[in-house]
Copies of this chain bind each other. A is one copy, B any other.
Amino acid sequence: MNAAEIREFRDACSAAGIAVTHQRQVVWQALRSMHGHPSPEEIYERVRPRIPAISLATVYKNIHLFIESGMFREVSLHHGSMRVETNPEPHHHLVCRVCKSIRDIDAETLGVAGKPRRLPDGFLAERYAIDILGLCAKCQKSM
């Protein structure tokens, strides 16, 4: 809305090497104005009042560009389908953001321990699931 925000958006686009389009800016501002963890559909519904003719595909394309360029992040990586854990031992995961591989790592090797005291809003913790996001050795080489 304001000038500083528009400048920030333009700078982010040029840093990412993408064009400054009206649709892109409105999607970006919608995300800026939203709280929580919206789905593409929810973002679409937020954008539609401003650009009634926008396509859901455009929203998807721009979300992906924003994530690739680091302007926003995904809450958790999608693997395309559900995955079943076959390792019954308590452990955590190394997840590669490029090839999406998942490797087990036990809490000891990881060096984080200890359940917390009390959680906000009376949340009852049953399990800690730590994903370390990054690059596997193979994907580091191919860059």
**Chain A residues packing against B (C-beta within 8 Å):** 31-32, 34-41, 43, 63, 66-67, 72-76, 78-87, 93-94, 96-97, 102-103, 105, 109-112, 114, 116-117, 119-137, 140
Contact = CB atoms under 8 A, between A and B. Distances in A.
Given A39-B79, A75-B79, 12 more contacts: A31-B86, A37-B102, A38-B86, A72-B84, A74-B85, A75-B84, A76-B131, A94-B120, A121-B137, A123-B134, A123-B136, A128-B132
Contacts of A32: 86
A137 B125 CA distance: 11
B86 A37 contact: yes
A122 to B, nearest CB: 4
A117 B112 CA distance: 11
Contacts of A37: 83-86, 102
A124 to B, nearest CB: 4
B134 A126 contact: yes
Contact of A81 (B31, B39, B73): B39
